Chains A and B, each alone.
Chain A
Amino acid sequence: MSTTKKFAATALAAALGVSTLAACGGDKGGSGSGDGKKSKTVTLVSHDSFNASDAVLKAFTEETGYTVKVLKSGDAGAALNQEILTKGSPRGDVFFGVDNTLLSRALDNGIFTPYEAKGLGAIPEGVRLDGDKHRVTPVDTGDICVNYDKKYFADKKLAPPKSFDDLIKPAYKNLLVTENAGSSSPGLGFLLGTVGQYGDDGWESYWKKLRANGVKVVDGWEQAYNEEFSGSAGGKKAKADRPLVVSYASSPPVEVLYAEPQPKEAPTGVATGTCFRQTEFAGLLTGAKNEEGGKALIDFLIGKKFQEDMPLNMFVNPVIKDAKLPELFTKHGVVVDKPQTVAPEKIADQREQWVKSWSSLVLK
């Protein structure tokens, strides 16, 4: 018995020691979330791609008195699943980054408390996918589209593809690289785009043709874009030979922004008929410690300041009508008129089955 007691005592001591250590190090990340000023901090949980300018976050503090602490944990899917697992005892107050492909899973698991954000009227009805229930608030939209290497098509005197139908034409044989729909968000988006375009009965035969036309599938966006796509910096160094890649409508402006010196024209273009629209939402977490702060933060996320800051930080489009796009986007970006969409409930129901069928069609 005494060994058990001793063990328990040691375990407790070790645990306490670690907690004390953790408490001492609490300020390390600049979080400053001591117990005394708990109500002054509002915690935003998000995925790894979340980004905002320091100046904008500071403006939020000035307006509301709350300091934002950001916790990022993995990609969009992993971050949401962690929220579902900690339902009722969340790590933060607001979750940002659930998109329309994951929305139903989030809502079915009931992790959000309804809140009707101030300024919701500025957002078009079409993107408010939770209707009047207000469990989530749309924050941004983005399109997953095929990008092309402008130089390749100019050299070959070939017109770049414009639509899903073009991609299965012999002229574009062995040119496209895409991502694994089972593990990559753009990969899944492209698959959903074809489901939207050709319907439940047609998408499988489309992929058979795409496969026959030499589509290459790699695991993630990083490999597709940086290793296989001839229009990217990494691709050029790796002597990549695929001038078509599944990426984002915002990738060309990003190429311009992150080049030294900035080119007059983006090196890549977008096939606007191959797009799938993603909408990202934020929601107030049930059990949030600072509900008032969380509400203020959601209001702020759809406010003009944050909305206009977003494009150059996360490379997505604002959802409110009167937000101005930065020049980089208006000059080098494209307008996607008719993106494909699929209802979130349908995605939730069939996603796994679609991915399974897709895998056996394309990977085997």
Chain B
Amino acid sequence: MAVPVAFFAVFFAYPVAAITGRGLSVDGVWQFGRIGEVLSEPDIRGVLWFTTWQALASTALTLLIALPAAYVFARLDFPGKQLLRAVVTVPFVLPTVVVGTAFLALLGRGGLLDELWGVRLDTSVWAILLAHVFFNYAVVVRTVGGLWAQLDPRQEEAARVLGAGRFAAWRRVTLPALVPAVAAAALMVFLFTFTSFGVVQILGGPAYSTLEVEIYRQTAQFLDLPTAAVLTLVQFAAVGAILAVHAWTVRRRESALKLVDPSRTARRPRGAGQWALLGGVLTTVAALILVPLGVLVERSLDGPGGYGLGYYRALQSAGASGGTFLVPPLEAVWNSLEYALAATVIALVVGGLAAAALTRRAGRLVRGFDALLMLPLGVSAVTVGFGFLITLDEPPLDLRTSWILVPLAQALVGVPFVVRTMLPVLRAVDARLREAAAVLGASPLRVWREVDLPMVRRALLVAAGFAFAVSLGEFGATVFIARPDNPTLPVAVARLLGRAGDLNYGQAMALSTILMVVCAVALLVLERMRPDRSGSGEF
């Protein structure tokens, strides 16, 4: 408990409080009047309203589209399932600048929808909502599907035998067991879309603005810290309210569940219904995820002289020309992997300890901490980045120009994933097993190692996968952290896209494709690593 608390105090609460405090006090006098002033501006109110409703709509739409997929991935067996599960996670790591490009190819002028039905959705709110589904699909599929795969199907079958209809059996047996996972997924999707930044700017155009965009503009462009501080407080309040609602829904629903080996619950689809469902999910994945990703690959191969590997070859020579602007792509891949690995380790240690502590203890304080762990997802990257700047400036914590700041910022976003994916599984572990072990004389550490760990090993791996993917693609906070020049892949892509010229554009596409492949391979390796007969927990 102490480690995660200390981590959050030093690297989150203190920086954010410092930058907010700086905005709200002038020469030591608190200016709470500013809050009312800022909130009464009609523009700000519009932003608040839009931020909230688009996040709610995006969350609902994501659940609607991804829940059937969670079922399909949990309960049906089909060739290429593992690969597909890795691929749907790829959007997560892609920089929004790149995804914007891909999505315009789907929704914009000359895009798929335009050619088929003459529909153009760019600069409409639909583009924003669909892009949010694209990004967060994996969150639902993995969080919900993970638990679903481990629910014993015989319970539902027993209900059917006892005379319940198919739907009634699902509603009364499976659904209640799934509620914590669905709520956790919904919460994460909501927080992500509530703080959406790049997607809104690129696909929605300048007419749409979220709180996050506004905070960025006030802090990074206008240096209007008072307004930014008020907006940050508003963001806090909104996120806090959502967390409270979430805690209230979940608290009484979580219970020990009998978890089984997921490889035994999945089988080949049977009957027209299951085949139709599988077909529907595969079509959705193809249209919503594979097509945009495919566009990037296609553009990385489509050179001025026809298709070929010209841009990839250009990437190899980029380093040779010298200068501090570009790095050889291999070096960027290596930088990215190193940062992501460090961030994953930090997130696993901090998040794992937090999850373990939260399972053991109850009470208001602990629940409060549970909610606090989610806050980084709901706080603007620029607030955190600038907060680091004004707080971590004195020994022993003069980290402002140190590379460790990058994985630390990335881990802040990774920790909530680790906690959220591990908690449902840890809580589902029957406490009597631990008690039995303790009665038999095992020390608390040994109980954890021999009871909890084997059951949650898979959850741990999946959590690691998420943390890894998040940090691989993290761009927001990283960009504000001044560092000696060893850019990560997303940063290198953004630099290439910021320059005119055919070769720069092509290389950006090629580098994005490499980022996609690195992510997919890393996730596949993680999935392979899981032991064959562990008792439990995809996540």
Contact = CB atoms under 8 A, between A and B. Distances in A.
Interface of A: 6-7, 10-11, 14-16, 18-19, 21-22, 25-26, 28-31, 43, 45, 48-55, 57, 69-75, 77-78, 81-82, 84-86, 89, 91-92, 105, 180, 182-183, 217-223, 225-227, 232-234, 237-241, 247-248, 251, 254-255, 257-260, 313, 315, 352, 359, 363-364
A86 B207 CA distance: 33
A226 B101 contact: yes
Contacts of A248: 500
A72 B408 contact: no
Contact of A19 (B9, B105, B299, B396): B396
Contacts of A259: 304, 501-503
B10 interface: yes
8 contacts: A45-B482, A78-B221, A82-B386, A91-B482, A220-B201, A223-B202, A239-B110, A251-B500
A71 B501 contact: no
B372 to A, nearest CB: 15
Contacts of B448: none
A80 to B, nearest CB: 8
A233 B403 contact: no
Interface residues of B, number: 75
Interface in B465-506: 479-486, 494-495, 497-506
B386 A85 contact: yes
A334 to B, nearest CB: 15
Given A19-B397, A238-B110, A260-B314, A55 B322 contact: yes
Nearest to A356: B43
A26 B480 contact: no
A251 B403 CA distance: 33
8 tightest Cβ-Cβ pairs between the two chains A and B: A29-B484, A258-B501, A51-B325, A233-B502, A73-B482, A71-B482, A11-B6, A22-B402
A19 B328 CA distance: 29
Contacts of A84: 223
A222 B480 contact: no
Interface in B218-249: 219-223
Given A43-B401, A258-B502, 15 more contacts: A15-B6, A19-B396, A26-B402, A31-B484, A45-B482, A71-B482, A73-B481, A74-B220, A75-B220, A81-B221, A89-B393, A219-B206, A233-B304, A260-B310, A260-B502
B142 interface: no
Contacts of B304: 233, 259-260
B104 A238 contact: yes
B3 to A, nearest CB: 6
A73 B386 CA distance: 11
A102 to B, nearest CB: 10
Nearest to B393: A89
A15 B402 contact: no
B109 interface: yes
B146 to A, nearest CB: 30
Contacts of A257: 501
A16 B480 CA distance: 23
A43 B502 CA distance: 33
A217 B501 contact: no
Contacts of B282: none
A232 B500 contact: yes
A227 B101 contact: yes
B220 A81 contact: yes
Nearest to A234: B505
A54 B201 CA distance: 35
A255 B7 CA distance: 47
B400 interface: yes
B2 interface: yes
A233 B510 CA distance: 14
Contacts of A238: 101, 104-105, 108-110
B484 A78 contact: no
B416 to A, nearest CB: 19
Contacts of A72: 482-483, 485
Contact of B7 (A14, A25, A50, A180): A14
B507 to A, nearest CB: 9
Contacts of A22: 399, 402-405
A91 B22 CA distance: 19
